[in-house]
Amino acid sequence: MSTLLEVNDLSVAYGKIIAVKGISFNVDKGEIVTLIGSNGAGKSTTLRTISGLLAPKSGTIIFKGEQISGLQGHDVVKKGITQSPEGRRIFPRMTVSENLDLGAFLRNDKSEIAADFDRVLELFPRLRERLAQKAGTMSGGEQQMLAVARAMMGRPELLLLDEPSMGLAPVLVELIFETIVKIREQGTTILLVEQNALAALDVADRAYVLESGSVKMSGNASELASNDEVTKAYLGG
């Protein structure tokens, strides 16, 4: 496997508060890699920095061999990275169809955009029934589907998913994670941030456990799922 993303000694600060403290990790092409940890561990901050929404204090982010640290968000999207953010952040007064169109805003390959539109509706059939509906009137689960589908409309090589199961009923959590596996099977590499550590470790190839802005441990996801320390801290064991 070739390395798609390398994060080296990354530190990120909010004013004088250092939220991410020199973390390093990598994501290989075709993998699902998950960052797990408690609230405030630095998971979402890491994704926002990769996405170009936050500027790193120090360290490097390398994507496909090119340093992207400090690029603006729209330039990161052009490089092939899109994000489904924590809290969904859909446009509530726009229709489902309009939200999806915005996901392809930086593209001009119309025939391919149309093909991707069909593809995301196959992944999320419920959205097909609601194309003309205002996004803000949908259920939380449907809005989460839309957030992921909108990110996929950018045709990313690397999809960043920030807390996709947050606030969802168990049956929808299962559906979201089944779809994450399908997205990877279709060729998209995924970096997943998730508080539901059990679900994340179940679908991921590898995992990094973050604690207070640092990587506490890392390894094969199935091995970490059976690690006593991880089980006690994150899996309710």
Q: How many domains does the chain have?
A: 1
Domain that holds residue 208: 30-54+66-234
Interacting residues of 139 by C-beta distance below 8 A, sequence separation 6+ = none
Q: Which residues contact 26 (CB under 8 A, 6 or more apart)?
A: 3, 5, 6, 7
Q: Is residue 207 part of a domain?
A: yes
| Domain-located, residue 115 | yes
Each residue's pLDDT expressed in tens, for the chain with a length of 237 residues: 799 999 999 999 999 999 999 999 999 999 999 999 888 889 999 999 999 999 999 999 999 999 999 899 999 999 999 999 887 788 899 999 999 998 888 878 888 899 999 999 999 999 999 999 999 899 988 999 999 999 999 999 999 999 998 888 888 888 899 999 999 999 999 999 998 888 999 999 999 999 999 999 999 999 998 888 887 777 655
Q: The domain spanning residue 119 has which CATH number? A: 3.40.50.300
